[in-house]
Structure 1
């Protein structure tokens, strides 16, 4: 797999996520009667933006990090994402009139779905390995 085509796939995932956030923000503005649901979804998607960038940023693509350093980097990322969902849920629960906590959880979980689907499609259709 070439690094260039991988970076294109990662950028596509990032841009599609930003498009989803824009669509959700538009729904917050338009659908006033369901504003807490869309606001909760947007809150979760904002947290999901960190998930997208932390999971698919260039990371260790070219720096040859291996072994314990790679494991430690993954653990730090995992705990940061875990702490973030706790913060999002505390905010959603504290301000229930503004944010639906279930929608916030769904918005956050969607980020993992975007990464998995985007990378699955890349893995099923690998680019030409000669180059």
Structure 2
């Protein structure tokens, strides 16, 4: 497990779909949220350091113009796998790129964006990380 935790989203983004065929993934918690203002790299690092050391999480980045989850959201990516050891710069650059594509594709001039994750939601318009802890029965070495 530790070997797997050391390679998830370390040199490039690791998607859940990339490992789903090699290991049995079983969600063991609800999604929660983590807010990040303007996709600050320091907050991504803070988020990663808040994760359990030998745990793997799924992250779903999304944008919205409100802080209400019942309002429409625009998902920026399929589920990303992260661990405490993931590279915050790799995650930052990927989500920034996805956001820029969304702005161009949907002709969004100004938007407040979120990245969905697993802790809490602030009422302010921030980026949120939406994440879920997952459990592995069989490990695959990358």
* TM-score normalised by L of structure 1: 0.31
Greater Cα radius of gyration, structure 1 or 2: 1
- Greater fraction helix: 1
